[in-house]
Amino acid sequence: MTPGTDSHPSAQACFERGQLLRRQQRHEDAARMFQQALQADPNHAPSYAMLALCWMREEGKKAQTVEAARRAVALEPENSFMRGVLALAIANSAKDGQDHILQQARLEATEAVKLDPDDDFAHTVESQIYLRLHKYPEAEAAARRALALDTENTMATEVLSAALLMQHKDADNEHLVRYQLENNPEDDSSHTSAGWRALMQGNHREANKHFLEALRLNAMNEGARLGLVESYRARSWVYGGFLRFAHAMNRFTKGTQTAIMIGGYLAYRALYSTLKGVSPGLASAVVALWLTLVFWSHLARGFGSFFMLFDGFARRALKPLEKWEGIAVGGATLAALLCLLATFAFPEEGLNVVALSLFASAVVSAAAFTNDHHVGKYVYAGAAGIAGLGALLTLVQLFVPFAIPGQGEVFLLSMILAVAVTWLRPFRVLYA
């Protein structure tokens, strides 16, 4: 049988079939067709590139994705599109905090732009990588270059909207989002951008509506799913306030944010020292307010997830890990608050110690669940395990008549870990 017949379709025929499936969002089926194309012609560079783009949407295929993209570049090293796909694949393989890998991706994207300055895809990839590197002015500039080449480039428009949002260029972002919705009402990225803008403005109902519409248009839109979850959490005024505070801090550089946090702590210590000798009651109130702020900044997200578990519709938006976050963080926080209230009725029962251990467990667990640093996530997860064990042993100790061996030591270690996390997490030590 000769190549090109129905039994043995040509590489180009398989490639075209794969492209059709990819446009229909059937990425797994498309990947199989591109693999068939490569069986027919192992040197078909476009199939390697498209296979990489399909595999980017599959969990557990990051290494294969980069390898496929590298094969495409090896076959056509002067092709801007191939370089852009490689940059995207490398960036997709990087976890938050692995900036050295993102910098490798940026170099490939820059090379793609050099090879073809008129390729809007290359500029778009470059803008996406800059956005992940938190280089918002550079992301904005690259996205604008892409849009100057193709005004209908929705990927570049979404990056531009995010970059403007993070730089607090509210008027420009408002105009851009309105333009997107008016001109591309059936594009999921338009509603994703609108949703994030509404969420940062404190309008969680409007954000919820746009994220749901984005997911209706494209069920694979992870940005919209994350936004939907955040919009549900933001129904809590506590978490909504946390989101707005975090967004306000994003206008500053990392160095300025660090200075603000240190300055806030020093101001708190100075105020407490001044009031301690004048009004002990007022000084205690300042301490309580400071501790509430510290705990609130760590626990607000998990607490919001906990209440989402009781909403059947909202619960479906959560991934399994996010559900466990709600149980471990929100559940421990609620249990700690109940123990504190119970101390008024049973002041001699040691419930205050149980509450303290539960708070410690919640704080450390909150840091572990939100950390995707390639090393730090294991360190924080280990700390969360110790803090959780401390809370469990302290609770059990309340009900047994004998001393549990090691309970006091584990409780003390969990307290140390909780205090350490309240300092390490804001300064992003082994944290991403």
Q: Which amino acid would we find at residue 47? A: S
User: What is the C-alpha separation between 179 and 157, in angstroms, rounded?
Assistant: 10
Tell me: the pLDDT tens digits for 373-414?
A: 878 889 999 999 999 999 999 999 989 989 999 999 999 999
What is the percent of the chain with per-residue pLDDT over 90, rounded to a whole number? 53
Tell me: the pLDDT tens digits for 176-220?
A: 999 999 988 999 999 999 999 999 888 989 999 999 999 998 887
Q: Could you write out the three-class secondary structure of 12-63?
A: HHHHHHHHHHHHCCCHHHHHHHHHHHHHHCCCCHHHHHHHHHHHCCCCCCHH
As given in the structure block, the two tokens for residue 181 are 């919705």
Split at pLDDT 50, 70, 90, the class of 5 is very low
* pLDDT value for 220: 75
As given in the structure block, the two tokens for residue 243 are 């989101």
* pLDDT value for 317: 86
∠ CA 322-324-326 to the nearest 5 degrees?
75
As given in the structure block, the two tokens for residue 114 are 């050099």
* pLDDT value for 7: 56
Split at pLDDT 50, 70, 90, the class of 110 is very high
Show Cβ contacts of residue 120 under 8 Å, excluding neighbours closer than 6 positions: 145, 146, 147, 149, 150, 153, 156
Q: Which amino acid would we find at residue 111? A: E
Whole-angstrom Cα Rg for the chain: 26
11 or 287: which leads in pLDDT: 11
Tell me: the pLDDT tens digits for 235-279?
A: 877 777 777 777 777 667 667 777 777 788 788 888 888 888 888
Split at pLDDT 50, 70, 90, the class of 366 is very high
The overall average pLDDT reported for the chain is 89
Segments of the chain assigned to CATH 1.25.40.10: 6-76
Split at pLDDT 50, 70, 90, the class of 3 is very low
Split at pLDDT 50, 70, 90, the class of 98 is confident
Split at pLDDT 50, 70, 90, the class of 96 is low
* pLDDT value for 57: 83
* pLDDT value for 134: 87
DSSP line for 122-186: HHHHHHHHHHHTT-HHHHHHHHHHHHHH-TT-HHHHHHHHHHHHHTT-HHHHHHHHHHHHHH-TT
Split at pLDDT 50, 70, 90, the class of 326 is very high
CATH 1.25.40.10 fits 6-76, yes or no: yes
CB 360 within 8 A of CB 417: yes
Q: Is the pLDDT of residue 305 over 50?
A: yes
* pLDDT value for 428: 79
* pLDDT value for 240: 75
Residue with tokens 């851009």, as numbered in its chain: 176
Q: Is the pLDDT of residue 231 over 60?
A: yes
Q: Is the pLDDT of residue 113 over 90?
A: yes
What is the mean predicted confidence (pLDDT) over 317-324? Answer: 89
Query: Which H helix or E strand runs over 261?
Result: helix 254-278
Tell me: the pLDDT tens digits for 117-164?
A: 999 999 999 999 999 988 999 999 999 999 999 998 989 999 999 999
Q: Out of 64-78, 84-98, 103-117, 286-300, which region has the weakest mean confidence (pLDDT)?
A: 286-300
CB 154 within 8 A of CB 118: no
Show Cβ contacts of residue 72 under 8 Å, excluding neighbours closer than 6 positions: 45, 46, 48, 49, 52, 79, 82, 85, 86
* pLDDT value for 300: 83
Q: What is the pTM of this model?
A: 0.71
Give just the sign of the alpha carbon dihedral 9, 48, 95, 384.
positive
Q: Is the pLDDT of residue 60 over 90?
A: no
User: What is the C-alpha separation between 311 and 304, in angstroms, rounded?
Assistant: 11
